[in-house]
Amino acid sequence: MKLEINNLNKTYKGGKVKALNDFSVTLTPGVYGLLGPNGAGKSTLMNIITDNLKADSGEIYYNNEDVQKLGRKFRSVLGYMPQQQGLYDDFTLNRFLWYMAALKGLKKKDAKLKITQLLETVNLAEFAYKKLGSFSGGMKQRALIAQALLNDPEILILDEPTAGLDPKERIRIRNFISEIAENKIVIFATHVVSDIEFTAKEIILLKGGKLINCDNIPRLLSQIQGKVFELEITADHLDSIQNTYQISNLRYSGETITVRIVTDHTPKVVPIKPVQPTLEDLYLYIFEDT
């Protein structure tokens, strides 16, 4: 199973805004974290893959076949959870899932089994006959995840799937995504870096429509080895540190503050110690000017 994206370009506003700039990547089964600041091109990329948007140029191949020629056959192996919660408020959850199953062409027997399973998976079985309009934001997120999985897709695209979920629900969903990713290509777009730090096979870093890097986390973090430090300061030194360095974390403890900074140059302050970088540190380092 392979999804190849070759030299995708997409512009808006008469070519003045370049949302994707010669974007190319090859994906195989596993979870790919899609990271980038607002306006990086993440939503444009996902909408082109799902055929909700046409690229200006470039091609996408699934198992060496052009997806434009595959058409509906390709769309049948896709599962997509959009970030926008465009749900039918007057539908019950059960009715919504049956409706989506019909749109995806599932047989009634298969749909019944799959809906029952997914309601348990996303922890919404007891709300199956409640109207979607009464759902919280987090419950709507889980409903959207369920509909994306109805057709047991080979390619699963998730746009901020854990937004609005409490910590327990987030852990449950991301663990489930990890479990099913063995035989699926999963694109997991998020701003919550911790949700993919321990589940992603590789991270796709996107900035200004360009692919910055696509690699596994250990190799990505090796780029900033020796560039992440912690130091203890008092409150009267905080402004000076903030004006000089990129700060990834502050931790207050009594009269002192432990500051975590990311920098190309070893700070000339004491006491200071180098620490192991995290994906959040890398995000700050790469996207510091956005």
pLDDT tens digit sequence for 54-105: 999 999 999 999 999 999 899 899 999 987 667 889 999 999 999 999 999 9
Task: With H, G, I as helix, E, B as strand and everything else as coil, classify residue 64.
Answer: coil
Percent pLDDT > 90 in the chain is 65
Q: Is the pLDDT of residue 195 over 80?
A: yes
Instruction: Report pLDDT digits (tens) over 145-163.
Output: 899 999 999 999 999 888 7
User: Mean pLDDT, the chain, as a whole number?
Assistant: 91
Residue 289 pLDDT = 67
Which pLDDT value is given to residue 84? 64
| Mean pLDDT of all residues in 188-199 | 88
Check: CB of residue 122 under 8 Å from CB of residue 173.
Answer: yes
Q: Given a cut of 90, is residue 167 above it in pLDDT?
A: no
Which has the higher per-residue pLDDT, 9 or 255? 9
Query: For 134-148, b where at least 16 C-beta lie within 10 A, e where not — what string?
Result: ebeebbbbbbbbbbb
Which residue, among 257, 263, 241, 259, has the nearest Cα to 249 in the 3D structure? 259
Nearest to 217 by CA among 52, 92, 17, 33: 33
- Better pLDDT: 117 or 121: 117
* pLDDT at position 49: 96
**pLDDT tens digits for range 34-58:** 999 988 999 999 999 999 999 999 9
**Helix or strand or coil: residue 188?**
strand
The dihedral through the CA atoms of 73, 5, 41, 217 has a sign that is: positive
Q: What is the pLDDT of residue 214?
A: 96
Determine the pLDDT at residue 9: 96
**Residue 96 CA from chain centroid, whole number:** 24
Give 203-240 pLDDT, tens digit per residue.
999 999 999 999 999 999 999 999 999 998 888 888 88
Q: What's the pTM?
A: 0.89
